[in-house]
Amino acid sequence: MLRKYPCTASNSLLRKILQQSSGEARDAAYTRIDFGICLTRLERFEDAEEQLLRGYKKLIQDSVSTERVVARLVQLYETWGKPEKAAEYRAILTEK
């Protein structure tokens, strides 16, 4: 279940942070993940998917643990009503 916190204010703040970042830093990947969580809560699923996948791909490139991001992708697809996509990423969690 997604934790509750106010995403309307966070949404604009996270967008500004991403616009100012180089997009290369690992911190930018985590910011994208947080932004994706907010977008999921706002039911902006396509935007959430884009941000979560971009964060996930960056973390994979940096060989950083991706378990948190994969769990967020599972939550996104479950909330969005896409169980087949949720299962795809859930399988990644069980491989670890």
How many other β-carbons are positioned within 10 Å of the β-carbon of residue 80? 16
Which residues form the domain of 24? 7-95
The rounded distance, in Å, linking the Cα atoms of 26 and 57 is 11
Contacts of 1 (CB under 8 A, 6+ apart): 75
Does 73 fall in a domain? yes
Q: What's the pTM value of the predicted model, to 2 decimals?
A: 0.62
Contacts of 51 (CB under 8 A, 6+ apart): 32, 33, 35, 36, 39
Q: How many domains does the chain have?
A: 1
Give the residue among 62, 71, 70 at the shortest CA–CA distance from 25: 62
> How confident is the model at residue 82, as a pLDDT?
97
Q: What is the pLDDT of residues 33-79, one digit of tens each?
A: 888 988 998 899 999 999 999 988 888 876 556 787 888 899 999 99
